[in-house]
Structures are given as structure tokens and as C-alpha cells.
Amino acid sequence: MLKMLDIYFTMENKDLLVDFLLEKGYDDFYFFTCSRYSAESFLISAQEQVSARRAFGLFRIFILPNDVESLAQSIRESIRDKNIKIYMHDVREL
């Protein structure tokens, strides 16, 4: 059974994460644009504060269970940004 890893991040980190994943040998993943709706304290620009949302990205990777923890830890150690959130889900291909 595979694991699905969702990595949410501010758009400023997109290229850094792409380079990181490719360096680690992950060359098959998906990218989605999304918005984070949050309290004003998390929003940076005036535009974000007016709309109450911040531009985020999502990388979705299907990965072997043994690799999940090490990849997540490597991301946290290499890219020290509190806005990067990583979630794991159990999945199976139909």
C-alpha cells in the first residue's frame, strides 16, 4: 500500500521544494495551487489582509511507507519555514 504525502507551502517556496524533491529522486508528483484562509496575523500583504487568504501551493506525492518519515524530516530540516505543513494519508490504487 502506498502513502500519499501532501506538502502545503507558501508559493515563495515552490522552486526550492521542486529542486529539493528532484535532488532526492522524486520526479513524479503533482502540483496544485490553493489558498490558505486564516486570521489576519498570518497574512502579509494588504491584498492578503483584504481577501483573508494567502497564496499556497500543494505538492502531492505517492510514496512507499518506509520513505514517508525520512522525506518529511528532510524537508523540515532543509526548508525551515513554519508555513510548510506535511500530511500523510493511506491510499491504494484502484
Place of cell 529542486: 19
Q: pLDDT tens for residues 11-59? A: 999 999 999 999 999 999 999 999 887 665 554 555 555 556 778 999 9
DSSP state of 82: T
Q: Give the integer Cα–Cα distance in Å for 61 and 73.
A: 15
DSSP string, 11-78: GGGHHHHHHHHHHTT---EEEEEEEEE--GGG--SHHHHHHTEEEEEEEEEEE-HHHHHHHHHHHHHH
> Which of 2-6, 62-66, 81-85 is least confident?
81-85
For the entire predicted model, the pTM comes to: 0.82
* Arch. (CATH architecture) of 2-91: 2-Layer Sandwich (3.30)
